[in-house]
Amino acid sequence: MKDFLVKEIEPNTFFTKTVYLDRSFVIAAPEMPFSEEIKKTLEKWSFDKLQSDGELNKEYIQTTTTSTTANAAATATATKGETAHTGGIKDLSSQSDSDKLEKAEEFYSGFLYFVEDMFARASVSGELDFKIVTEKIKDMVEYIREERRFLMRVLKNIEPASGKNYIATHSVRSTILSIIIGTYLKLPNHRLIELGVAALLHEAGMLKLPSNIYLSNRTLTPHEQKAIITHPILGYSMLKSFDFPLPICLAALEHHERENGSGYPRQLGKEKIGLYSKIIAVACSYEALSSKRPHKEAKDGYTGMLELLKNEGKQYDDTVVKALVLSLSIYPIGLYVLLSNGKKGQVVDVNPENPRFPIVQIFGESTPDGKVKTVQTEHNELTIVRPLNRSEIET
């Protein structure tokens, strides 16, 4: 591969072949322009060079004579790699397990039902038991250890609930992401469980506010804005009243604080914000970016990751952001993608030996024994061109 200095790359130019970041992540495929936004992000993170086997051009240039020829060549290459199982594209279909995905959906649905019921009881009857919540989080921590990749696919496949269930779904999804980050940061088990409890209850204060405020797609009145800003304090007081440990109560209080002091309710700086709060802030932000809300459409996981990497204004802890990116990769599990052979699929796992080439399940293709075809993408063999939205998958 050749090195390209970031400072010398003109914005909105195209590479003729896939370009990589420090041999770790795909930054752009030939059809994707190298934008000013990407350049600024790389410079801010002190990445001074990229790598590619291609060349730079001011316009996108198709490197094959016709699409038919390209598809035929890609198909031939794929067939060769899949048959040989040595080098090239690795067929991993034997690892596909639809039963595990179904069980992950059942686990997620059961956990979500528990949280919805818990929040209803806390709001109406004033019931919230630390021991019961802790036991459920222990189950979640263990499940993530064993079946993380299936659970992440469920998060992508199931649309988040809207309306009154918003707080429950947001909390569950943020909890899963927080535990994944905490696992990557190698938190000991007891702290991982405490983090999970804190993430699950970080929005508890919202239960004290009218849902028409936090679900509104209109501009809030000054009075309503003040009400929203009180929810971390309400959550802290609520959890303290139920005798939750102080680190969990503080996480509810601080999860909207920001590294640069721009957060609320106390405008704390990075040295004064607890680790749980830093993790939950990143998990919540990624969950919000990648989920549909009353006032916005969801962004794909790839775009969400790039926005977090930009870290505008240094709002988030760099170590925590990197932990999320490295544990899920730039192309997160569950992301729908277009492959270089023109086929569509879904990222189903990270390749720990080479994070830039995730494992993808191919749509509409099966192995001779009836399993859905799953392959490991490879450099110069089969790569991801770009993310797809749901409408592109359904066509």
Residue 55 has pLDDT above 80, yes or no: yes
Q: How many CA atoms lie within 13 A of 60 on its CB side?
A: 10
Q: Which residue matches tokens 């110069």? A: 380
Tokens of 41: 């992000």
Give 244's pLDDT tier (boundaries 50, 70, 90).
very high
Do 342 and 300 contact (CB within 8 A), yes or no? no
For the chain, where do the domains classified as CATH 1.10.3210.10 start and end? 98-328
Residue 74 has pLDDT above 70, yes or no: no
Environment class of 36 (CB within 10 Å of its CB; exposed 0-12, middle 13-18, buried 19+): exposed
pLDDT digits (tens, 9 = 90+) for 383-394: 888 888 767 876
Q: Considering only CA atoms, which of 283, 190, 205 is closest in space to residue 237?
A: 205
pTM: 0.71
Do 375 and 385 contact (CB within 8 A), yes or no? no
**Cβ contacts of 364 within 8 Å, gap of 6 or more:** 343, 344
Q: In the 8-state DSSP scheme, what is residue 390?
A: H
Residue 256 has pLDDT above 90, yes or no: yes
Do 316 and 282 contact (CB within 8 A), yes or no? yes
Taking the C-alpha atoms of residue 147 and residue 319, their distance in angstroms, rounded to an integer, is: 24
Give 195's pLDDT tier (boundaries 50, 70, 90).
very high
Query: Which residues on adjacent β-strands are paired with residue 247?
Result: none
Give 70's pLDDT tier (boundaries 50, 70, 90).
very low
Residue 115 has pLDDT above 90, yes or no: yes
CATH 1.10.3210.10 for domain 98-328, yes or no, is yes
Taking the C-alpha atoms of residue 77 and residue 382, their distance in angstroms, rounded to an integer, is: 9
Taking the C-alpha atoms of residue 51 and residue 31, their distance in angstroms, rounded to an integer, is: 16
- 27 or 365, which is more confident? 365
